[in-house]
Structures are given as structure tokens and as C-alpha cells.
A and B are shown apart, each in its own frame.
Chain A
Amino acid sequence: MPGLTVVFTEWVSKNPPYGLSIYTPEYYQHVLTSVQRVAIAFGLATLLGVPFGLLLGWSRKFKDFVFPVFEILRPIPALAWVPLAILMFKGTESPVIFITFLPAFFATTLNTMLGVHSIDESYIRAAYCLGAKRAQIFRHVVLPGALPFIFTGLQISMGVGWFSLVAGEMISGEYGLGYVIYSGYTLVSYPVIAIGMITLGLVGWISSALVRIVGTSLMQWRVRSLGLGDGS
């Protein structure tokens, strides 16, 4: 493995010997491609997973009918879907996005459902007492009550999304950070591998930080309740 100095000089070099640095446009193209894929997959997973999880948690019947199938599919690793994804979705872009989407969707759905289950029954009863209808309870009790779990789910979703994306890009792809790492290996340009890894870590870290920031801004009540009051 190359030393850190070699990697770093390559990374900030205006004329990188291995062809990849913060001054080469390809670098940004790779980053952008990966970010775009994760953003689409994560967005879809959130858009579909949150309502789906809420429904699973809220309606006993819906859960009884749907959850068994969900539980059969869930233990299959996302990467095992690669060949089918290539067969099902034409082109190179959709299969990679599908592979990224799948585990993110499972994580989001499952945590959202657990979030609904975690809501203390007395909140729901209190809302009924105060004259709320089912739809109102969904909006004012179930949704905010599940929010902490939903955001835990989104954190996990972001993590597994990047995880699968890298594998997907290594197996099939022409752009993206996973591809950078893999081609660095096949072309024996080892500093490129390290640059790819460091960049991945950085981008991954930033994306989870973003999710965390959105979470705290949506859940001010949790921030303000922590540490204050007497806790009982």
C-alpha cells in the first residue's frame, strides 16, 4: 500500500501522476455520479419506506397481510440481487440505483414500523379522549411519535445505501467512487484506491451528518427536553 504522503500529494497535485486529484474534473464527476445515485435511491427509499412503515405499524390487518412477504425478502442480501437487477432494468444506471435503494428501503420501512409500535398506547388513548378522529391521530400522534425511530432508520438507510452503492459500482459501472477504487486496483494505481476510499468516507460522513441535522431541526422538542426537567 502507498504511504499517506504519496496519496496526499497525488490528491492535491495539479498534475497528478496517476491521473486523479482535486484538480481533475473526472474526480468531481465520479463524486457527483455516486452522490446522485445515492440521493435518488435514498429519496425513493424514504418516499416509499416511511408511508409504508407507518401503514404497517398503524394497521394490524395491513401488517398481517403484507409483512410476511416483506420478511421473506428481507434476509436476501441486496448484492445478491445484482444479476436480477441487471436483467430487470435495462441500462447501467437503474440496476445500481435499485441495489442501493433496496436495503435503504428495508431499513427505513422496518424502523418506521418499529417507531409506530414504540408509541405509548396512552398517547393514542389520550388523543381519542380529546376527541381526535383516526386520521387526526395519525397526523398528530403517530407521525410525530414515530419520528425519532424514522430518523434512526434514515441514518441506517444512508449507511447501507453507500455500502451497496460501492459494491454495485465495483461490479458494474463506468463512473462513481466504487468504480474509481476498483479501476485503481486493475490499473495498479494504488494511490487512486486510497483517494477513492478517503473521499467515500468523507462524502458518507457528510451525508449522515445532513440526515442528523434535518432530524434535530424537525425534533426540537427532543433537543430541548434532554437534560432539562426532572426526567421522571
Chain B
Amino acid sequence: MRLAEEMKKRLFDPTRLRAIFAIVVFVVLWELGSRSKDWFGYAAPWISVIPAPDAVIVVWWGLLGDAGYWQSGYLSLLRVLSGFGAALLIGVPLGLLMALSRNFYGIVFPTFEVLRPIPPLAWVPAAIIFWPTQELSIAFITFLGAFYTIVINTVDGAKSIDPRYFEAARAMGSSGWDVFRRIILPGTLPSITLGAAVGMGIVWEVVVAAEMISGGGSSMGGAGASGAGGGLGFFIWNSYTGGSYEQIVVGMLSIGIAGYLSSGGLRMLGEWITPWLRVR
């Protein structure tokens, strides 16, 4: 009885109803816009060149059984995770060191600030020249994408810890390691989590762009003819050059979903490792 009422309330929650309504309207407008030339004899600006949602779904459905499509997704995800993982593994210790040692900070931070304004993708050619394989150069650029954000957030987080905690810990006779493990690490985790979430978004941008540049100018080479070798970014570019526009939209939506899921997963992980921040 009570449960039924609850369910009813959930289902008819105005925010949820409005969201469903909004998305339905969006899809209908998209359909009408895409087909405006056929149906009304008038090509709506911009949107009329975008394939209609029903056509996209048909193509997507077909691709779900296609190994190349999944291979592309897998490849992009692998790149995202390796670049992101490297940024985390190197960025967090570096950030902590910068926050804890004034000397280290003085040496590293200026270099850091000089390099930071250079967008990661500007490193593409330099990375290709420097690293022996294409895969390594993509990994390097991906790494850069998340690296700065993670370092900056770690430094800010560690610096914002109330110094009284250190004094209290010292007064109670804690060792350096204890202070690090019990005060610095938990005090910094929330901002590291935040930096990582932002970094994850950038990493997807970088991977897609790097894959597209490698496809757009074939000079980075190495991608198979089917596009399977190049990840989702190349999948999109390949669909464009091959003229299958529905596939472009499928690629875009797939990347959107993958990006959304990885940020969501990261957020859940972040909440799990910072249980004291949970609101009751």
C-alpha cells in the first residue's frame, strides 16, 4: 500500500515527466528537421544534413553485430584507461611532492606553469616524432590531457588541509608515515577525485581527436581499412570519408555513452573511497 504510493510518486515525479517530454520533443524535432526536405520541400538550416534518428537507430542496430564496431570502442577505451591511469599514477605523487616540499615546488611549478597553457593536441606532432610507436604517442597525449588537472587538484587539496591536523598528529607522536597515511591522503582524496573526474572528460576529448587526426591526415598511419584499428574517433572520420553519415552519429552517441559511463563509474569509485563525505 505504502510502497504502491511511493512508486506512483516516483513515476509521476514532475521532473522526470518533464525530462521524458523534453527528450521526446527533441527527437521529434530532430526527425522533422532531418526529413524537412523530403516532407515539406524546405531544407531546414543546418539540421537537414544530419541523418534522422530512425535511420541512425537502424544503422546502429546493424552495427551491434559488427565486430569492427566493438573493436573500435574497445581500442578507444583501452587508450583512455591507459592514458588516464598513467596520469593518475604519476600525477598524484608528483602533486603530493609539490605540496609537501617547498624546494621541489619551487623547481617544478614554474616549468609546469609554462607548459600548461599549451593544449595537449598541440603536442601531437612532437609526440609522434619523439615516441617510437603511434600507440605510445597517442598514450602520451592522452596522459597529458588528464595530467595537469590531476596534479593541480592534488596540490590544492594537500595545501588546503588544516595545518592544525599536523600539529595535533605530531603532538600525539605520530610518525611521518602515519601523518601521510592518516591525514594527507584522506585530506587530499576529495580534490583528487574531482580532478580525476574533470581529467576523464578531457581524456575522451583527446583520444577522439588524436584518433581523428591520425585518420584525417594519414601520416600517422597504421589504421586498418575498416577503421577497426583506429578507435571510435577514427570510426567517425572513416564514416565521414566513406559517406555513411548515419555511422557518424552512431559513433558520436557511442562516445557520449562511453564517456558518460566512465565518468559515472569514476564518481562511484570516488564516493566509495571517500565514505566520510557521504551525506546522511
Contacts and interface: CB of A to CB of B under 8 A. Distances in A.
Answer yes or no: A and B touching, Cβ < 8 Å: yes
Nearest to A99: B209
A76 B118 contact: no
B54 to A, nearest CB: 17
Given A64-B14, A163-B121, A75 B257 contact: yes
A200 B23 CA distance: 39
Interface in B8-30: 14-15, 18-19, 21-23, 26
B83 interface: no
Interface residues of A, number: 53
B50 interface: yes
B222 to A, nearest CB: 16
A101 interface: no
A122 interface: no
A109 B233 CA distance: 26
Interface string B115-136: 1111111111110111000000
B230 to A, nearest CB: 13
A83 B256 contact: no
Contacts of A20: none
Given A65-B18, A197-B118, A76 B123 contact: no
Interface string B30-52: 00000000000000001101100
B117 A205 contact: yes
B260 A75 contact: yes
A79 B209 contact: yes
B255 interface: yes
A87 B49 contact: yes
Interface in B106-122: 114-122
Which of B22, B122, B219, B248 has the most chain A CB atoms closer than 10 A to its own CB? B122
B82 to A, nearest CB: 18
Contacts of A196: 122
B240 A86 contact: yes
Given A80-B208, A185-B128, A170 B213 contact: yes
A226 interface: no
A72 B23 contact: yes
Nearest to A172: B216
B173 interface: no
A89 B18 contact: no
Contact of A68 (B19, B50, B129, B252): B19
Contacts of A166: 119, 121-122
A201 B46 contact: no
Given A166-B122, A197-B118, A200-B119, A64 B19 contact: yes
Contacts of B259: 75-77
A81 B124 contact: no
A89 B49 CA distance: 10
Given A80-B208, A83-B248, A75 B22 contact: no
B237 interface: yes
A96 interface: no
A69 B126 contact: no
Contacts of A80: 208, 232-233, 236, 251-252, 255-256
Nearest to A70: B22
B204 interface: yes
Contacts, number: 157
Given A68-B23, A69-B26, A72-B23, A77 B205 contact: yes
A167 B213 contact: yes
A178 interface: yes
A84 B252 contact: yes
A186 B239 CA distance: 24
Nearest to B15: A64
A181 interface: yes
A76 B257 CA distance: 8
Which of B114, B233, B252 has the most chain A CB atoms closer than 10 A to its own CB? B252
Contact of B114 (A76, A200, A201): A201
Contact of B208 (A66, A79, A186, A201): A79
B263 interface: yes
A186 B202 CA distance: 26
A184 interface: yes
A166 B218 CA distance: 18
A143 B156 CA distance: 28
18 contacts: A64-B14, A72-B26, A75-B263, A77-B204, A80-B256, A82-B240, A83-B236, A83-B237, A83-B245, A83-B248, A84-B49, A88-B46, A89-B46, A167-B213, A170-B121, A184-B125, A201-B115, A208-B117
Interface of B: 14-15, 18-19, 21-23, 26, 46-47, 49-50, 114-126, 128-130, 201-202, 204-205, 208-209, 212-213, 216-217, 219, 232-233, 236-237, 239-240, 245, 248-249, 251-253, 255-257, 259-260, 263
